[in-house]
Amino acid sequence: MDIFSCLLLGLSLSAPIGPINAAQLDRGIRGGFWPAWLLGLGAVMADIVYILLVYFGVVHFVNTPFVKSFLWLFGFFVLLYIGIESLLTAQKITLQETRSAESLSKSFAAGFFMSLSNPISILFWLGIYGSILAETAATYAPKELIIFSAAVLSGVLMWDITMASLASAFRRWLTVPLLKAISIISGLSLIGFGLYFGFEAAKVLFFR
């Protein structure tokens, strides 16, 4: 394990299309760079929470059926709410919409709670990352572990900036119908992820 591989690990976590990327695209198209970037930054703050939890050793607690079902349900409600909100606001998009119209604090909070309630993020940070950390702790000093963790987060931040830049740049060339269509697709995508989380919660609760 080295700094470069940790950087790639962070990029690999962020790059697959998921709720955060869909929401970033939606925020960037509707509000510009800052709402999209702050949504991603909020997600990174949630990632830091999970890194701290790994250090305090809560992996076994998270693996209990009750906690798993709660996490899936929490993700279901958060993504469903944000997805429906995206569909409702899609009808209000205009080319005259200013970049400052998007609430920056709301974007940050949305990213934070989406990532905090995303079981995929939880499984990565408390599962995969926890295993990597346990393995490297046997070889490296605590200071180096902090550096490796910072490298992973740097990869996440790099993708965050890239997504925000692309979404805000594309916004200049889009027509109103296309803006609305992308926002609707993004909202439906978030709802789809939410329904998947709800299905997983039902599996844990009723089909164990």
| Residue range 132-177, pLDDT digits in tens | 666 566 577 777 778 888 888 888 888 888 888 887 777 677 666 7
Using 50, 70 and 90 to split pLDDT, how confident is the model at 99?
Answer: very low
Residue with the larger pLDDT of the pair 127 and 192 = 192
Q: What is the pLDDT of residue 8?
A: 78
d(CA 46, CA 97): 30
Q: Could you report the per-residue pLDDT of 41-91, keeping only the tens digit for each?
A: 999 898 888 888 877 765 556 556 776 777 778 778 877 887 787 788 767
Residue 98 reports pLDDT greater than 60: no
